[in-house]
């Protein structure tokens, strides 16, 4: 009788076949698009991994449209979507009157993204994705609040998905280091290090679960963000 591999065995294969990652600041052994391709036929994992990686695509899109970078290398979005030359996927587009109201107050795209990823994590009962979204929202809103206070602006106008904030997350050391940064690039690296540290504290090491795949994807994303910050530093110099 033919015995099909169990889901655990399948996850074990996908994880053990991934190249080892170095510390933050080292070169990533694979790109995000390669990672998506690696799990392309993994039932239940691709959608979750893509939800994490989509954050990096949106960051690149934001930087391109702001004139901070000239090229994008999306892994989930198409090149046209990432360049703002084609509509974004439906889950990121405004669909209700509430969406339009949110758009007036804050950044609708990020509101839609975080709510999409959070709901996906909840529906799939994926602990890592749910908590990772909450941390990203908490960090983003903490930085936005600090920036608004410094500029004497309305803090509430810059909050994204405030109901997803983790009230137990103490980011005061990160905020202090970020506010003391001498350049925007130094500040960016403070943020990247904080995200890397959070993954260290929340990674499902050797569980061979989808959570471990998502933590791996988040780390690859941060390695690439660090690499791009180094490129920008060279250009600035």
Task: Give the closest residue to 159 by CA, choosing from 171, 142, 178.
Answer: 142
Give the 3-state secondary structure of residue 27: coil
- What is the token pair recorded at 97? 């009157």
pLDDT at residue number 42: 77
* Range ranked top by mean pLDDT from 92-96, 110-114, 152-156, 233-237: 110-114
Question: Mean pLDDT over all residues of the chain?
Answer: 87
- Rounded to the nearest 10 degrees, the angle between the axes of helix 210-236 and helix 184-202 is 170
Task: Give the closest residue to 219 by CA, choosing from 24, 12, 18.
Answer: 24
Local confidence band at 15 (pLDDT 50, 70, 90 cut-offs)? confident
Q: What is the model's pTM?
A: 0.88
Local confidence band at 217 (pLDDT 50, 70, 90 cut-offs)? very high
């Amino acid at each position: 009788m033919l015995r099909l591999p169990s889901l655990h065995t399948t996850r074990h294969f996908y994880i053990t076949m991934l190249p080892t990652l170095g510390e933050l600041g080292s070169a990533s052994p694979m790109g995000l698009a390669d990672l998506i391709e690696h799990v392309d036929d993994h039932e239940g994992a691709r959608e979750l991994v893509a939800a994490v990686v989509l954050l990096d695509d949106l960051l690149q899109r934001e930087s391109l449209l702001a004139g901070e970078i000239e090229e994008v290398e999306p892994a989930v979005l198409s090149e046209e979507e990432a360049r703002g030359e084609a509509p974004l996927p439906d889950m990121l587009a405004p669909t209700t009157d509430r969406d339009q109201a949110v758009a007036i107050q804050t950044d609708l795209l990020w509101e839609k993204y975080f709510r999409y990823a959070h709901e996906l994590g909840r529906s799939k009962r994926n602990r890592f994705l749910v908590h990772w979204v909450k941390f990203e929202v908490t960090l983003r809103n903490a930085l936005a609040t600090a920036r608004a206070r410094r500029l004497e602006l309305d803090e509430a106008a810059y909050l994204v998905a405030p109901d997803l904030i983790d009230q137990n997350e103490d980011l005061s050391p990160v905020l202090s280091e970020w506010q003391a940064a001498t350049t925007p690039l130094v500040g960016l690296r403070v943020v990247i290090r904080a995200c890397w540290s959070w993954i260290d504290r929340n990674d499902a090491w050797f569980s061979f679960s989808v959570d471990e795949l998502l933590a791996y994807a988040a780390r690859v994303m941060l390695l690439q963000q660090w690499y791009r910050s180094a490129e920008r530093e060279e250009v600035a110099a």
